[in-house]
A and B are shown apart, each in its own frame.
Chain A
């Protein structure tokens, strides 16, 4: 795998930045092709995937729990006065659940996950690169791409949908807390309204796109870490650019995937 070398320097011209941007796209494409080549070849390093699912995923639960509760609370609190003006507060459960299931849950969880995990992978692999640990792995006849990259990308791809479902549940519960403060609504009515509002066509596109977001988070973090140059300064840059690049790609792919899901499930519109 021959990855392109980016132009280094503190004061890069606009032309150099464009050049680096195109090199990053080409590098990421090569990295993706290598992933496809390596992912389904043994050995599968299952224990490593499990370890990363725990490190990268399970330890993200506390922060996404807080985020989930706040999304639900704020969404319901801000919508309640407007809906009350139209006498439509009965629709608050549907509004909160549909917003969270279709868009806010998947995208915000992915962005938080990118902030925590993409930067972590970028920094970890980056420091392994500059301290020659990746070279040491290669010299000991172990494929570092397979051991370090494939396992992490699999872990992020599998854990993000689980985190998202959890955030959706927590956010809907957060919405309920906000609703009972201001409205005389029973939990049974809230639950029944939520269940009636969410259709198969709402849930599936939202969850399916989190597999793509999880893949982006793992892949971008690993790419930036694996290609780190320039010592500890390079590790810092790898970590920062991994978050920026992963967040941007998540937002771009969100637009594309919403368009695709509207094409597949026209009733969503």
Chain B
């Protein structure tokens, strides 16, 4: 029987020089769950995502994705695990030298045996999910910040991943675009039945997306629960953090 947990992180630690960013963190994520990771800047949220996808090697601990410990497996096995993971980077990380079409077809051409017609059909159908089918032949430099995020999202989901990682998906966007992106993420998650880990500062985004929230502080998980439990917490630090967020909201 398949494990109901898609991600199992145990005792994860990561330091950069003398700075301990993550200290003995353990997180389990159920299939289909949306986990939001909150925390102040520099508390290791992005490092957590990068360790989860094998871009950074943890100092200690294990990260199991679909029961495979990505910190110990070979690069070939890691790549086979990565084929089931999508990652939306903070700046979308679109390949500047390629058109939107080439960006989306880049992973497909390398991992799937598809004809050009099938590639084009898949590209258009994925772009339709983010309402940008008419931008298929544009270059990334011709896109606005919100459009880049949507295209980045389309490129991440085009391989139908089981797990999506979002690094600050709404940073740098106006409140309306932020809300649209957050709604798009939750709609895609429902439509494609994905599991998501979302790193964000954005309370609106978290309220729309989160099934569960963890709050990182000083390299530890300081709080965990539903979003409303955290926003209504009597903890002075959380009160202060979320009051700032509510002002921004």
Residue ranges of A at the interface with B (Cβ–Cβ < 8 Å): 43, 124, 127-128, 131-133, 135-142
Cα separation A43 to B110 with both chains bound (whole Å) = 9
Bound-state CA distance A131–B110 (Å) is 22
Some 18 contacts from A to B, beta carbons below 8 A apart, are: A131-B93, A132-B91, A132-B93, A133-B93, A133-B94, A133-B96, A135-B89, A136-B93, A136-B95, A137-B95, A138-B82, A139-B53, A139-B82, A139-B85, A140-B82, A140-B106, A141-B107, A142-B110
Q: Is there a chain A Cβ closer than 8 Å to B83's Cβ?
A: yes
Q: Is B79 an interface residue (CB 8 A)?
A: yes
Known A128-B96, A141-B79, A141-B82: A136·B110 in contact at CB below 8 Å: no
Instruction: Give the residues in chain B near A128, CB-CB below 8 Å.
Output: 95-96
Query: Which residues in A have their C-beta under 8 angstroms from that of B110?
Result: 43, 140-142
CB distance from B206 to the nearest CB of A (A): 23
With CB as the reference atom, state the residue of chain B lying closest to A51. Answer: B97
Q: Contacts of A139 on B, CB cut-off 8 Å?
A: 53, 55, 82, 85, 87
CA distance A136 to B98 in the complex (A): 14
- CA of A231 to CA of B159 in the docked complex: distance in angstroms? 30
In the complex, which residues of chain A have a beta carbon less than 8 angstroms from the beta carbon of B85? 139
Q: Does B111 contact A (CB under 8 A)?
A: yes
Question: Which residues of A lie under 8 Å from residue B94 when comparing CB positions?
Answer: 133
Report how far A141 CA is from B110 CA in the complex, Å.
9
Closest to B167 in A: A132
Q: Does B131 count as interface, using CB distance less than 8 angstroms?
A: no
CB A144 to nearest CB in B, in angstroms, measures 11
Which residues from B are CB-within-8-Å of A135?
50, 55, 89, 93
- The minimal Cβ–Cβ distance linking A40 to chain B, given in whole angstroms, is 17
Chain B interface residue bracket vs A: 20 to 34
Q: List B contacts of A137 (CB < 8 A).
A: 95, 106
Contact indicator B93/A140 (Cβ below 8 Å): no
Known contacts A135-B93, A137-B95, A141-B82; 12 further A-B pairs (Cβ under 8 A) = A43-B110, A131-B93, A132-B91, A133-B93, A133-B94, A136-B87, A136-B89, A138-B55, A139-B55, A139-B87, A140-B107, A141-B80
B87 & A142 in contact (Cβ 8 Å cutoff): no
Top 3 closest A-B pairs, CB basis?
A: A136-B93, A141-B79, A140-B107
How far apart are A179's CB and chain B's nearest CB, in angstroms?
Answer: 45
Q: Which residue of B lies closest to A140 (CB)?
A: B107
- Contact assessment for B90 and A142 in the assembled complex, using a CB-CB cutoff below 8 Å: no
Q: Taking the nearest CB of chain B, how far is it from the CB of A225, in angstroms?
A: 13
- Give Cα distance in the complex from A133 to B102, angstroms: 14
Complex contacts, B91 vs chain A, CB 8 Å: 131-132
Give the distance in Å from the alpha carbon of A128 to the alpha carbon of B53 in the complex: 19
Residues of chain A lying within 8 A (CB to CB) of residue B50: 135
Report chain A residues within 8 Å CB of B107.
Answer: 140-142
* Chain A residues closer than 8 Å to B111, beta-carbon distance: 141
A127 to B95, CA, bound (A): 11
- In Å, the complex CA distance between A236 and B222 comes to 40
In the complex, A151→B93 CA distance in Å? Answer: 21
- Minimum C-beta distance from A227 to chain B (A): 15
Q: Which residues of A contact B87 (CB under 8 A)?
A: 136, 139
Q: Which residues of B contact A133 (CB under 8 A)?
A: 93-96
A135–B82 alpha-carbon span in the complex (Å): 12
